[in-house]
Amino acid sequence: MKRRLILLAGVFTLAAPRLRAGSPRRLALRHSHTGARFDGPWHDGADPDPGAMVELSAVLADSAAIRPRPFDAAALGILADVAEAAGLSGPLVVRSGYRTPAINAAVHGAGDSQHLRAGAIDLEVASARIQQVGGLALGLGRGGVGLYPRRGFVHLDSGPVRAWNGDAPGGGIPAPVEDRIGRIAAAWRNPGGRR
């Protein structure tokens, strides 16, 4: 499964559209639990729009958040890039964005979840497209990607590059993406095959 995901990431990286530098960016999304919505420009092509970031932070916060935490623009950039590359038409449905510690514990989230720092988004995706969307996200090489096909979403975050299948037995543990170049370099350093 992991090999297939890594292979798909390589293929989709080649197929992913290249963004023009400086082009304004828009997002249309809805939080599935709170019903909060955002539809408009969020980035001018050089920097995130501060007003839009305040709105997005509120939309992406869980219902227990009294004061939303400022959402990470890098995570929103990943979401926008994946949505564009996959041809997802809006509004994107977000199941989870920023989580308070209480909500994170209630949903059995990881203690160091990127959701706690407002750097993760669980994006609702049709089951038939989970692998494709996950492969595109992994191909960006810009954060964590978790696939949850039985639950119908892809986790995207701006943390370290890693991947996991949250629905597989024991699959909820993120693993670093394979470093093939590093492995080849190590093999060249150790020609006898001894480790």
Q: Which domain holds residue 178?
A: 2-189
Does residue 194 fall inside a structural domain? no
With vertex at residue 154, the alpha carbon angle to CA 158 and CA 14, rounded to the nearest 5 degrees, is 75
- By mean pLDDT, which of 101-115, 117-131, 147-161, 172-186 is the weakest? 172-186
Does residue 195 fall inside a structural domain? no
Does residue 167 fall inside a structural domain? yes
Q: Cβ(54)–Cβ(30) under 8 Å? A: no
- By mean pLDDT, which of 46-50, 93-97, 151-155, 176-180 is the weakest? 176-180
pTM value?
0.77
* Cα(130)–Cα(136) distance, integer angstroms: 10
Q: What is the number of domains present in the chain?
A: 1
Does residue 111 fall inside a structural domain? yes
Does residue 21 fall inside a structural domain? yes
* Cα(134)–Cα(83) distance, integer angstroms: 11
* Structure-token match 């543990």, residue found: 173
Does residue 58 fall inside a structural domain? yes
* Structure-token match 């969307």, residue found: 133
CATH number at residue 86: 3.30.1380.10
Percentage with pLDDT > 70 across the chain: 76
Does residue 124 fall inside a structural domain? yes
* Per-residue pLDDT at 178: 53
Does residue 165 fall inside a structural domain? yes
Which SS3 state, helix, strand or coil, does residue 195 take? coil
The two tokens of residue 171 are: 């699959």
* Per-residue pLDDT at 44: 94
7: which residues sit within 8 A by CB, 6+ positions away? none
- What CA–CA distances, in Å, run from 120 to 60, 75, 116, 143? 10, 6, 8, 9
pLDDT per position as a tens digit, 3-48: 444 443 443 343 334 444 578 999 999 999 999 999 999 999 999 9
